[in-house]
Chain A
C-alpha cells in the first residue's frame, strides 16, 4: 500500500517511525515530502536555542533510516489530485498514494502591523531553525528587543533574550499574559515575575506600526502612541495551521483541516491530518504532546486496519471508511502546558484560565501568594484532578502533573495538593534526650535507643562495648556518632550509673519494638 506523508517535521517523522515500527507485515511503501532541507528537528527547543540553553545539535531528531520508506527533503507538495490520488511535488514529481497523511504543521502568524510586508531585517518569527539562527545572529549586535505576543512562545523568547543580556519589552494585545491559559490573577503573578527579571511589558495594547529605515527595523509604534525603539523584533503572535493544500484539494478546512476521532478528513477517508495542521473534534492545542499522540494513534490504527476498498476511480463514499478494529485510547493529559522560561515557572493543565467553565461538581481551590511569586489553583471533580494552574510552584507542579495525567485519586482535602507532602524525617538527627526509646538507632541490626541504654546500664561504656552487646554500629557503621552521643549523654547525666535516667516514655508504647536489639550473642 502506497502511503504519502506531507510534512517531515516532529509529527510527520514520528508518525512514519511509529507506523513502520508496527508494520510487521511490510504492507506499507512510504514516501515523505518535506519542504525543509533539514532532517527533522525539535521545534519545541527553538526557544531554548534562542535562550542559549541548548546546543543546536540537541535539536536534531534525526531521520531514522527506515525500510520501505523514501524521504524527499527540500521537496514541498505543490498540490493534491484526489481524483488520481497523486501528490504533486515542487520538483514536478507525481507521488501516487493509496493513503495520504497531512502533517504540514503550522506557520507563524504575522500580525496586521503596518510596515511588516515584506518583513524588514531584524524582524523575525520563531518557527524554523533558520528563524532561530536569524534571531541569535541578531542578538550579537543589538541591545533592544521587542517581543510581539506574550503567549507561551513569546514569554520563552522574552526570558531567553533577557538571559542573553538584551533589554526586552513584551507587547501584548490582551490585557494579561498567556490569556489562553491564565486568568487575570494568575497572569498578574506571572507578570510580576517578569518584572523581577527586568522584562518590560506593554499589555492591553496592540502594535500598530513598524518603523523601518533602509529595510531594517528601528522600532515599533503602539496603538497608544508610544514608540519603542528596537533593533530586534520577534513575532510570537500565534500560529496558523498550514491548510492551503487541503483547502485547494476541496477538503473541509475551518481553523485547521477538519478531522474526526479517527483523524480522517471529513471529505476523504483516505486522507488524514495530524499535528498542528489538523482540527480534531476536541480542537487543536498546538502542543507537541497532542501531535505525537495523534501520530501514535494513527500509526496503530493504520497498521491494524483493513485496506480501504475504494478503487481510484470511485468517488469517496461513507461506506468506505477505514475500519478501526480497536479503539486506540488517547494518552491522557496531552494538554499540559509547561513554560520553558528562564526564571519563570508556569504550568497549566486541563481546566484552567479565564474560560474555565464553572461546571457543577467542580471544586476550585487556590493558594495565592503574590509576594512570594506563587499562585496555585487546582480544579477537582469526582475525586480526580481535572485542572491546575501553577506559577512559581516548584516541585508541586510536577506532582500535580503526575496526578492529572494519571488520574490518581486526590486527598480527601484536595487543598493538600497545594503543598508538597512532608517527606520522612531522619530519625537519627534528634538529640539523644528527645529520642523516644523505641527509635531505631542502628537500622542494620534493628537496635533501638532503649536497647543501647539497657546495654550501657549493664556496664558497656564505649562504642565498641555497645557494639559487642547489641550489634549496633556493626553493619554500615552510619550510627557510630549517634551511639557515641548516647554514651556521652548517659555518662554526663549519671556518671556512676547508679541513678540512670529512666528511659523517656515513648508516646505510643509498642512493646514489640522495645528491647529487640538487646544482647543477642549466644
Chain B
C-alpha cells in the first residue's frame, strides 16, 4: 500500500494531504447515492496547514466518486437532452462550428472562459490555444471575479503581483494584523493557526460588516473588530492613514527612501479626519484611532514586533476595489512594512490556483510569466517559444464581465469554451449571463461534474480532476506545489491538455501542444523566462525534491547552482523602474448601487465553510451538503422583528436585477442595516442572480459584495405547503 503526497483540490491555501487507497471495511456504506470515496485522505505536515484540514478537505475524495460524474462527452440532441457521444463526434462538432463561425464572423467570434482552479499547465495551454489556434483576443477567466483588484493594486504599487509576497508562516510572528474583507476562518480554516501569535498579542484587527467567524477571533481581548457600513472599507483605510500622519506615526524615513507619491496621498487623507470618517463608515472615531495606533506600535520603525495589512474579496469585489487595495497598500507603506522581514502587505488569494491561474495567460491582457500582451518584447519572446509569428498574436481582449455581456450579441462572440467555471452561479447578475449563454451558437463546457453551466451547454466534455492528474498549482504564497495522480481517469474523461491538443489538430493548427504535464510545465517555464512571474528555473524534478520554491525562480547558466526561489519579495527594492513603491491616491465614491427608499438595506455576499465557490463540487459531498443544504439569509433579529420574520421563514429579496427567495437565519452577527447570503447555490435562492455586475474601472472586478436590496417576508410561501 502506498501513499501519495499531494494537496487539497479546493482553496488557495492548498493544504498538504496524503492519499492512500481507501480501506474496505464491512462498515463501508453501500448506499448507491453515496458511494464511498476511492481513496482515503490524511492531513500532511506542511508549513501552510501543519497537518490540518477543514471539513471540505477531509471529504474531498468523495467528489472523485460522485454518482453523476461526467464520464463521456455529451452532445445536446434534437430533443434538448444531453446525450452521450464519442470524442470524435463531440470534437468534430466543435471544430466544425468554430470554423464556420470564424469564416462568417472572424476570429473574434470565438471566446474562452477559464478558471482559477485549473493547474498551471492547463491555464497556460488554454491561453496558448486561444492566442495561437483560435487567434482570438477574447479570453478571460473567473479569476477576474477573484483576484483582479488585488492584482491591479499590487502591480501598480509594487510592479509585481504575488498574493502574499512572503511565506504564510511569517504571519506567526506579527504583533498586529489588519485583515480587511477576509473570512479565512471559514474559507481556509487551517490558516487560522498562523494567527495564534497576533491574537495572543491582542493585535488582530478584522474589518468586516459581519461578526464573521474570523471577526469573532478578535473577541476576548485578542484584537479589534471594525464593522463598517457595507461599501465603506476604503473610508476606514483613509481614516487610518489620516491618523497615522496626524499623530506622527508614519515611517517618514521609509516613505522618503522607498516610495513615490506619499505627499499626494497624505494630502488626500487630510479630508478623512476620524470624526468625518465615522459619519461615513459607521465605525467610531475612537475605534479608528485604536486600530491605527495598534498598527503603528507593532511596526518595526517604532520598535514593534511586525505588522501586516491583508486584504480579501470583501473589500476587493467592489467598484472601488482597486482603490481600496491601493489604500491598504498605502497604509502598509506609511507604516514602512513592505520589504521588511516580519511585516508587509498581502492579498489572500481565493481559488485553488488563483495565483498561478493569473500568471500564465488566461487573463485578457496577459501572456505567460505575467507579461503584458501589449508589450512587443513579451510578444516576441512568447511567440518564439510557441513557434508563431509575434504579429499573429491577438491584442488584449476584454475583462470577464464585459466578455459575458458581449456573448451572442451581433458583434460579439458566438462560440464560448468554458473551462472549470460555473458561470451561471458564480457570475454577477447571473440571469443576464444565462441569457447571454442562451444566445450563443455553441457553448462548450469542460467539467468533471454536471453544473448549472454544463446544463446549458451544447457540448460537454468530461475532464480529469485533482487526484486523476499530474500538475502544478501556485498557492496563495507564490509557492509552486505539485498535484499528483493516484487514480486513472474515470470512463472516457480526458485532461484538458489532451482535449486542446486534439482540437488544435482538428482546427488545422500546426502549433505544438504537448499533453504530458511535465513537458507543458517545461514549456511554460521557458515562456515565463524574464517575466515578473519567472518559473524558468523550475522543473518537475526540482519541485518533487524541494517543497519550498517560490517564484521568481529564474534559470541559471549551466554549471551554476540553481536559483533558490524567492520566498520574500522586496527586501532590496521594488520591481518598478526606479525601485520605489508607488503610492496612489484613492478616492471614496461609495457603492454603485447604494440604498434608497425602495431598496433600503444592504445585501452582502460571501461563503460558508462547507462549500466551495458555486458548490458544484461540495454540493455533491453528502456530509457537506447535509451540514449546509440550502441558501439562507442572515439578518439581525431587530430587522427580522421589523419584517415580522422568524428564523426559518422564507424571505423575498428584490434588487434592481431581480427577485430571489431563501430562508431567514437570525443572527446578531450582522449589522441591522445589512443582510448576508452565501452564493454557493443555484435556483431560487441563488444570490448572484441579484448582485450587480457594475465593475471596477481599473480591474474589471464586479461589485459582488454590496448592493441595495428590499427584503420582505415571502407572502407566496404561506399557502404552498401541501
Contacts and interface: CB of A to CB of B under 8 A. Distances in A.
Given A57-B245, A446-B610, A408 B275 contact: no
Contacts of A426: 216, 219-220
A401 to B, nearest CB: 5
B133 to A, nearest CB: 40
A475 B49 CA distance: 8
Given A423-B669, A445-B58, A398 B283 contact: yes
Given A406-B595, A426-B216, A443-B609, A42 B211 contact: no
Interface string A393-430: 01101110111011111111100100001111010010
A62 B267 contact: yes
Nearest to B242: A58
Contacts of B275: 338-340
B155 interface: no
A357 B545 CA distance: 78
Contacts of A476: 52, 185, 189-193
B679 to A, nearest CB: 20
Contacts of B595: 406-408
A194 interface: no
Nearest to B273: A45
A409 B36 contact: no
A328 interface: no
A365 to B, nearest CB: 15
A424 B37 contact: no
B211 A444 contact: no
Contacts of A309: none
Interface stretch (B172-180, B315-323, B503-511, B633-641): B633-641
Contacts of A445: 54-55, 58
B476 to A, nearest CB: 16
Contacts of B669: 423-424
Given A423-B211, A445-B58, A477-B52, A409 B609 contact: no
Interface stretch (A48-56, A134-142, A255-263): A48-56
B264 interface: yes
Nearest to B636: A421
A394 B668 contact: no
Given A54-B246, A394-B284, A443-B189, A406 B673 contact: yes
A395 B667 CA distance: 20
A358 interface: no
Interface string B558-574: 00000000000000000
A421 B211 CA distance: 12
A110 interface: no
A60 interface: yes
B270 interface: yes
Contact of B52 (A54, A59, A474): A474
Of B40, B229, B275, chain A has the most CB atoms within 10 Å of the CB of: B275
B271 interface: yes
A520 interface: yes
A475 B23 contact: no
A475 B669 CA distance: 23
A411 B245 contact: no
Interface residues of B, number: 76
Contacts of A492: none
Contact of A42 (B247, B270, B287): B270
Contacts of B609: 443-444, 446
A111 interface: no
B45 interface: no
A443 B185 contact: yes
A2 to B, nearest CB: 27
Contacts of A185: none
B607 to A, nearest CB: 13
Contacts of A410: 642
B641 A411 contact: yes
B627 interface: yes
Given A48-B273, A474-B58, A520-B58, A399 B282 contact: yes
Given A401-B278, A444-B55, A444-B190, A522 B623 contact: no
Interface residues of A, number: 61
A454 B40 CA distance: 23
For A41, A42, A445, which residue has the most chain B Cβ atoms within 10 angstroms?
A445
Interface string B253-268: 0000000000110111
Interface string B577-613: 0000000000000000011010011000000011000
Contact of A62 (B54, B245, B264, B673): B264
A35 interface: no
Nearest to B248: A55
Contacts of B286: 394-395
A394 B289 CA distance: 13
A475 B271 contact: no
A471 B55 contact: yes
B245 A475 contact: no
Contacts of B594: 406
Contacts of A45: 246, 270, 273
Contact of A512 (B55, B189, B626): B626
B512 interface: no
A444 B59 CA distance: 12
A44 interface: yes
Contacts of B285: 338, 340, 398
A476 B642 CA distance: 38
Nearest to B629: A512
A119 interface: no
B669 to A, nearest CB: 4
A470 to B, nearest CB: 11
Contacts of A383: 642
A132 to B, nearest CB: 14
A481 to B, nearest CB: 12
B22 interface: yes
The 7 closest A-B pairs by CB, nearest first: A62-B267, A476-B192, A402-B282, A444-B189, A408-B673, A54-B246, A475-B189
Given A421-B668, A424-B669, A520-B59, 14 more contacts: A60-B267, A60-B270, A288-B276, A398-B283, A399-B282, A402-B673, A409-B673, A421-B672, A443-B186, A444-B189, A444-B190, A475-B54, A476-B189, A477-B50
Interface of B: 22-23, 25, 28, 36-37, 40, 43, 50-55, 58-59, 185-186, 189-193, 211, 213, 216-217, 219-220, 229, 242, 245-248, 263-264, 266-271, 273, 275-276, 278-287, 594-595, 597, 600-601, 609-610, 623, 626-627, 636, 638-639, 641-642, 667-669, 672-673
8 contacts: A58-B245, A60-B270, A61-B267, A402-B281, A423-B669, A522-B28, A522-B36, A522-B40
